A = this chain, B = another copy of it.
């Protein structure tokens, strides 16, 4: 019953005018599938069955399974880049507040788009062109700005020095984990934030804890 039955198998030849296929939903579905079951665990054929299209359509449009993966990731990049742009366009006057807003933004993004983090979890333990792509495309673009920010704060004596990776994992895996692994979260007996308000509260809690934790207290 979980198996979505094919959504109306489109018909054999070229589709009629106005019935052209939209690749957007295909890429979304592919991204979800890769995020849930990993690259190897995802079968293009099963995916196409679920979407009600022939498996050869994927090959025709995207070339190969690997290229489909990259196309889906590129598709996911759009909203991420928008978040980066927003962050760059709304600078806070205070460095610490900028960091705080960055953490909150990160948590909210992971809640809205958990796929990329899930894919990181699948790929991050073994080397491959794919993980290099994710890191170069999603993670490292953010790094220089954050590192400069941290350096300034350390130089000003406002936060303790700490490795970038430590903070990174505390935010993206620690603060966002419950969205990345929702089934585990539920089995843990926890409720996922359901309303935007609850979500915001969680994000702010995480930001509070981490910022308080790294702040150097004036004696």
**Chain A interfacial positions (CB closer than 8 Å to B):** 35-41, 114, 118, 120-127, 131-132, 135-136, 139-140, 143, 162-166, 168-178, 180-185, 187-190, 202, 205-206, 208-214
Contact = CB atoms under 8 A, between A and B. Distances in A.
Residue picked from A122, A163, A173, most chain B C-beta under 10 Å: A173
Chain A interface main SS type? helix
A131 B166 contact: no
Nearest to A211: B213
B202 A208 contact: no
B174 A169 contact: yes
A90 B184 CA distance: 29
Contacts of A185: 124, 165
22 contacts: A37-B126, A39-B41, A41-B41, A120-B184, A121-B121, A124-B183, A125-B182, A132-B187, A136-B187, A139-B184, A139-B188, A140-B187, A140-B188, A143-B188, A163-B190, A164-B188, A165-B178, A168-B188, A171-B174, A173-B177, A174-B174, A210-B213
Contact of A212 (B37, B40, B182, B212): B212
Contacts of A172: 177
A20 B123 CA distance: 36
